A and B are shown apart, each in its own frame.
Chain A
């Protein structure tokens, strides 16, 4: 059973890498913020959600779209700006949404979508609806005051909301040590008396599953803050690997690349490799067809 979810993570990696591969063709004419290196936890989110969910993402929105199992074809079509895309070409990569699966909004102004998640939680609580609201953002959003406003209100009013902070250590090309006095994002939630959890790419899939199960179960009665420790293996925005760009160093990059659980899984398991290759080829094939049509 756990295997099924690891396979999903491998598929998500293949999809993102295929998008990076096609992006070089300059036919996806919108900025794309890929999450390559950060996908290891995604399948375990939906696995542990039982009931209605409303998610609000920032610009790195492919992750949540994939995690909630939004329609892949509609997503690809949106990246190409087609009328058949999930936003009819109005939003592109940075605004992905699929109301059918609960991705309500993606706002590329870092913390800007946090109040939207708060509003969803407020509405659910007032109307006594069993709905989980999720705010999904990165370490950069923690540098904006609105996070503190939202944590404060959610805590004081015990709103059913889950704050998921994916800490990939970088804001664009700037390392966190230049931006914050600590790389621990949970400290903001602690200050607001919000319950915290943390997972990292070095945790086992089983442990990640277990933590997410606890996180989601707790989020229906009071706010919860989950910090996801991760590392982005591709550039901030675009399709290239940026091993030594900005504040990155090669030793640091190599360290995290070796820790990447999806690469480890693909390299050690032939069936995982086959799954990866097949998914990658399929997405490339679909993209190629779209590219020929535009």
Chain B
């Protein structure tokens, strides 16, 4: 297991991508700023492969889609997911359609890194994730990395895929480190982060870190929570979830965006259609943030976001734990969460982004 943070691992993998082939290029708004330290100095080291792009998201996304059908491979970085909304036209109208029309003679092996913001007053226009919006586009691979190895897998594999890839990168996952599970030999698919026999928690993106922290506390009281990282939203591994719930018989799903028309809806739909929910001893639960848009102020945003304590509460309810155990767990998890200000990922973070 290496000791690189997620951000550092992206930097290393991006350099490997640029180093491996002069036709591999990177395009970024503000490329020399380092994009949250994930591409630091690469534009100086690989100036002929590094392209600054103007605030023209639709044409730049379309340009990258198209260019990757020809002599080059493209990696595009946009500072926040919301900017990619200006490029929805190209993503929907042109993403993998050329491949459809040409029997795969014109594929688009490109990668778009769109960052999801959180904290430090990001407010309602810099904090959305909108994953189901992108996952609905046919033949686009939508990944939501959590750990260093997730992004390493994406960066080292996207060139071999026929269709465009989107990596929705939660800003607060940049500080994560690999676990043993995330380093196992893996495909670009869902995987188990922590094993447990009592409750299955299905999560993705930053919520995986929240769920894992909760699972670690439950483990201390010999309550096993199995946390599954969906990771690849375009190919949800329903069989993996089914195997888990066949044992735990309890299911909790965490949405990063919203609950209706959401990832949890898709997961539950796929499991129901395959007749895999019959093993549950209680109806499944799902959680997400406590509102529609994230307010800007630290106090209001703290109330908005899903907390570890919310997950612990739902887990206790599903597990029907006694009130003493429940109280102990909630107190411990709340104390842990309150040890760091709610609007930063850790004590070392300094604003604004």
> Which residues from chain A sit less than 8 Å from chain B, CB to CB?
54, 87-88, 90-91, 95, 97, 99, 104-105, 107, 109, 112-120, 122-124, 126-127, 129, 145-146, 149-150, 152-153, 156
Contacts and interface: CB of A to CB of B under 8 A. Distances in A.
26 contacts: A97-B102, A99-B105, A105-B106, A109-B93, A112-B62, A114-B59, A115-B59, A115-B61, A116-B63, A116-B94, A118-B59, A119-B62, A119-B63, A120-B67, A122-B63, A122-B72, A123-B66, A123-B68, A123-B70, A126-B25, A126-B71, A127-B72, A146-B89, A149-B60, A150-B63, A153-B54
A120 B66 contact: yes
B313 interface: no
A123 B100 CA distance: 21
B56 interface: yes
A127 B56 contact: no
A27 B67 CA distance: 37
Contacts of A156: 54
A104 B106 contact: yes
Contacts, number: 106
A127 B23 contact: yes
B132 interface: no
B54 A122 contact: no
Nearest to B69: A119
A91 B94 contact: no
Contact of A115 (B62, B69, B102, B103): B62
Contacts of A120: 66-67, 70
B101 interface: yes
B265 interface: no
Contacts of B67: 119-120, 122-123, 126
A158 to B, nearest CB: 13
B65 A116 contact: yes
Interface of B: 23, 25, 53-54, 56, 58-72, 89-90, 93-94, 98, 100-103, 105-106
A79 B23 CA distance: 38
A109 B89 contact: yes
A129 B63 contact: no
A105 B101 contact: yes
A99 B69 CA distance: 12
Nearest to B98: A105
A112 B66 contact: no
B66 A115 contact: yes
7 smallest beta-carbon distances between A and B, as pairs: A115-B62, A119-B66, A149-B59, A149-B56, A127-B71, A119-B67, A123-B70
Q: Does more than half of chain A's interface fall in helix, strand or loop, or is it mixed?
A: helix
Contacts of B64: 119
Of B23, B71, B89, B98, the most chain A CB neighbours within 10 A belong to B71
B56 A124 contact: no
A185 to B, nearest CB: 18
A150 B103 CA distance: 28
Interface centre among A88, A91, A120 (most CB of B within 10 A): A120
Contacts of A107: 93-94
A153 B59 CA distance: 9
Contacts of A114: 59, 62
A88 B100 CA distance: 11
Given A115-B61, A115-B63, A118-B59, A152 B100 contact: no
Given A109-B89, A115-B59, A149-B58, A126 B101 contact: no
Contacts of A112: 62, 89-90, 93-94
A152 B94 contact: no
A101 to B, nearest CB: 14
B23 A90 contact: no
Given A115-B63, A122-B63, A146 B102 contact: no
Nearest to A86: B101
Contacts of A99: 102, 105-106
A124 B72 CA distance: 9
Contacts of A153: 53-54, 56, 59-60, 63
A118 B63 contact: yes
Name the residue in B64, B66, B68 with the highest tally of chain A Cβ atoms < 10 Å from its Cβ. B66
B72 A126 contact: yes
Given A115-B59, A120-B66, 5 more contacts: A90-B101, A115-B65, A123-B68, A126-B71, A150-B63
A150 B23 contact: no
A27 to B, nearest CB: 22
Nearest to A97: B101
